[in-house]
Amino acid sequence: MESFHESHAKPRSGLVGRALGSLPDAALAAWFVALWISPLAFGPAAVRTGLVVMLVEFVLVHASAMLGAIVLSERVPRATRLTGLGAMAALYLVFIAAFVAEAGSWWPLAVFAWLLLAKAALAMGRPGPDLRHRLQSAWAVAVMTYLVGVAATVMLPVPRLGLTPAVVAELGLSGSGLWSTRPQTVIAFGAFYFAVQAATRLFDLRLPAHTLPGLGSPRA
């Protein structure tokens, strides 16, 4: 049986483009790691920002399915796809507005734009079977990674690193949920989630086509 990597890794010739496409996710993974080690280095609100990033990403994982429906038609020109992407972004801004109201600041909008950039980079290829495979696999991997990350950080002991009880007390996190009382869980989750997304894009790792809906056989 073909492996996830051996059957679906792209040639080295596209490495530069894939590296650029993976940059938003890689930057976020590095930021979460740095935040985990030194949470106050980015200001007292940085950990709260990390929590909102993961909530916004949950919205955008859902948005990715709609993005795929917009861009996969071979008859739709790129300009129309970009227009559809803009319309989708406007729709999801309604959800992000709730985060803005909660935070009392504009920065969730910047978070949303940065995360949407990572999703949009996936949609800029030529419509056809290859793009369909890439988008459907990326969405499936994102969903699985999100679910695995949530479960793992809930069930497994996550080291505090820089998020000691004294530091957490300074953060002023509201609520009584796990992400507020043990913020190392959401920070570790973010580091894991975005590292997986960056690696998937950089190496163009894909799930076998026959495991995805609407794709009958693996790529040639």
Q: Where are the alpha helices (DSSP H) in the chain?
A: 4-8, 15-37, 46-71, 78-103, 107-122, 129-155, 165-171, 178-181, 184-202
Structure tokens that stand for 169 in this block: 């007390």
User: Which pLDDT score is estimated for 149?
Assistant: 94
How far is Cα 31 from Cα 178, in angstroms, rounded to an integer?
A: 21
Tokens of 93: 């801004």
Q: How far is CA 56 from CA 13, 50, 82, in A?
A: 33, 10, 21
The token pair at 3 is 């492996």
Instruction: Give the position of tokens 């071979």.
Output: 74
Are residues 93 and 112 in contact, defined by beta-carbon separation less than 8 angstroms? yes
pLDDT tens for the 220 residues of the chain, in order? 444 444 444 444 478 878 887 888 898 999 999 999 999 988 888 888 888 888 878 877 876 666 666 655 556 666 776 677 677 777 777 777 776 666 666 666 676 676 666 666 655 556 667 777 877 888 889 999 999 999 999 899 999 999 999 999 888 787 778 888 899 999 999 999 999 999 998 898 888 888 876 665 444 3
Instruction: Say if residues 97 and 153 touch (Cβ distance below 8 Å).
Output: no
Task: Please count the CA atoms within 13 angstroms of the CA of 155 that sit on its side-chain side.
Answer: 6
In this structure, the chain runs to a length of: 220
Question: 10 Å Cβ neighbour count for 92?
Answer: 17
Structure tokens at 180: 């507020």
Please indicate, yes or no, whether the overall pTM of this predicted structure exceeds 0.85.
no
Largest Cα–Cα distance in the chain? 58
What's the one-letter identity of residue 160? R
Please name the residue that has the structure tokens 């690696």.
Answer: 199
